[in-house]
Structure 1
């Protein structure tokens, strides 16, 4: 019977790398902007496509319903998002950024891009392009196993 060594198990290594990067970014977002990672993800996704339901946000961010709901409540409480009736479904609301939410997005975005640059500073443009391609392939392969 084969033995599993976590340090050689790629799903584990991918998770560890993701957690380390997220933790480093979360520290910066929390200290500079008072944002948790799920809150920033919602702001970023809403900024890309105004008027989204929480269900659509969950799909776009790959976060569970509870995490999306908590982040949306926190952002609403801070006046960063607003809720509008959904003309297509009276049981849900569309979330969009308020002026304060847009201003925060405009403040966070340069820092997010700088953090990305810092994390990948030791990589060439070709390596980053290859890494993006590999991530796309990993995600597509995982989706075949668990399409959600």
Structure 2
């Protein structure tokens, strides 16, 4: 909990973003454009959370929403120049905080931590699929 709060201080304080808005920004920053459905799957957010966050990000002019030319039922979301600029400001700050948090662990311990976290996450996804 304190780890996520340490990172959340970046986007909630300085950039006035919710956790869900940041997760959408991060997804779009690393994938360039996605549909709302793809974002929900990528970020493990519920559809309503994604919808609200998209509204806030559009209002703040941080994302664009355009019809998919191949299928007009879907829209693709992408970062605006303003959104990309904010994304590029937050990422190095978040990575620096992550490095600080992990700094007491050796490289081997960090690898083991990531391996174990992946195992736990995979089991959680398996459980979600069971209902």
Q: TM-score, normalised by structure 1?
A: 0.81
Whole-angstrom distance in 2 between the partners of 1:144 and 1:124: 30
Q: Secondary structure at the match of 1:146?
A: helix
Whole-angstrom distance in 1 between the partners of 2:6 and 2:102: 13
Partner of 1:56: 38
Q: Between Structure 1 and Structure 2, whose CA radius of gyration is higher? A: 1
Which of the numbers 81, 85, 88 marks the counterpart of 2:63? 81
Deviations 1:46-99 (A, max 9, x none): 111122111100000001111111111111111110001013432221000111
Q: TM-score, normalised by structure 2?
A: 0.90
The alpha carbon displacement at 1:140 in A equals 1.7
Gaps of 5+ in 2: none
Which of the numbers 7, 13, 19 marks the counterpart of 1:37? 19
Whole-angstrom distance in 2 between the partners of 1:40 and 1:83: 17
> Alignment length, in residue pairs?
130
Partner of 1:47: 29
Which of the numbers 84, 102, 110 marks the counterpart of 1:102? 84
Q: State the structure with bigger RCO (CA 8 A, min sep 6), 1 or 2.
A: 2
Please report the RMSD computed on the Cα atoms of aligned residues, expressed in angstroms: 1.5
Which of the numbers 65, 73, 91 marks the counterpart of 1:91? 73
Contact 2:28 2:77 in 1 (8 A): yes
Relative to total residues, which structure has the larger strand share, 1 or 2? Answer: 2
Contact 2:10 2:90 in 1 (8 A): no
Partner of 2:127: 145
Superposed, 1:10-25 pairs within 5 Å as 19-25=1-7
Partner of 2:51: 69
| 1:127 and 2:75 aligned | no
The alpha carbon displacement at 1:136 in A equals 1.1
Partner of 1:114: 96
